[in-house]
Amino acid sequence: MNKNDHIRAVIFDVDGTLFDTLPSLSAAANEVLVQVGRQAVSASLLQSALNEGLRPLFHKAIALQREAVDAQTVTQLEDQFMARYLRHGLATAPLFAGVADALIAFKDRGLRLGVCTNRDRASTAALLAAAGIADSFDAVVGLGDAPLPKPAAEPLLLLLERLRVAPANALFVGDSALDARCAQLSGVRFAAHLGGYAEQAQDLLPNVLSFGRYQQLTHWLLDHCGDSFSPRQLRFATSPQPLSMNQEYL
């Protein structure tokens, strides 16, 4: 066992990884659109855009309108969407089952915890505070903190620098192809959350672990945090299938 490969830090994406935020975000977007006579958009059609951030999700809703929307109106509606979400949506986004217990277990083990997201810093801080888990994290990197967003390596490497942990000693937990690619470019092991917003499990490769329930991640990490693994090893879902936000994994 190579001690240089011990996991000393666990980093989490936010949307689709820690929180099930798609329902509240799509509701806020549709409320704004319907109010001005536009069409509501199914949450499933906005799912893939959420991995890029909140504003890209709203831009996707605009792009799916039957009639074009001029740039000035888009800006106004986007600002209304963000304001409505920050006022009403943050408190309604639940943590995925088992997240709170996992964070406690990891802190008790002495692991450093961080957040790396394409969500803006203000809404990230508000969301973590609303769920009562803000104090669990030693560092947070959000949109704008690094020159490029995920899937570029810069956000994750910046977070590791702030945690004072080498890439070889970290595990990144995410739910999208952006997260998997970011981890790969950063030289960080990746754990794929299958209950998030990826359209297919193949999007979450390479990974050292794929899990549907946080108890699986907790057990795996506490049992193996001193071991070294190669990508694609030890996946709970051995036959990747298309995913939906409501799909459960045993």
Active-site annotation, residues: 13
Look up tokens 């986004």; give the residue: 93
Beta bridge partners of 193: 211
Dist CA 215 CA 204 (whole Å): 19
10 forms bridges with which residues in the sheet?
A: 113, 171
Give me the long-range contacts of 31-39 (CB less than 8 A, separation at least 24).
31/84, 32/77, 32/80, 32/81, 32/84, 33/61, 33/65, 33/77, 36/73, 36/77, 38/65, 38/69, 39/64, 39/65, 39/66
Cβ burial 20-31 (10 Å sphere, 16+ → b, else e): bbbebbbbbbbb
What is the DSSP code string of 90-101? GGG-PBPTTHHH
> 141: which DSSP letter?
E
User: Whose structure tokens read 């990197």?
Assistant: 141
For residue 196, give both structure tokens.
């998030």
CA distance 41 to 47: 11
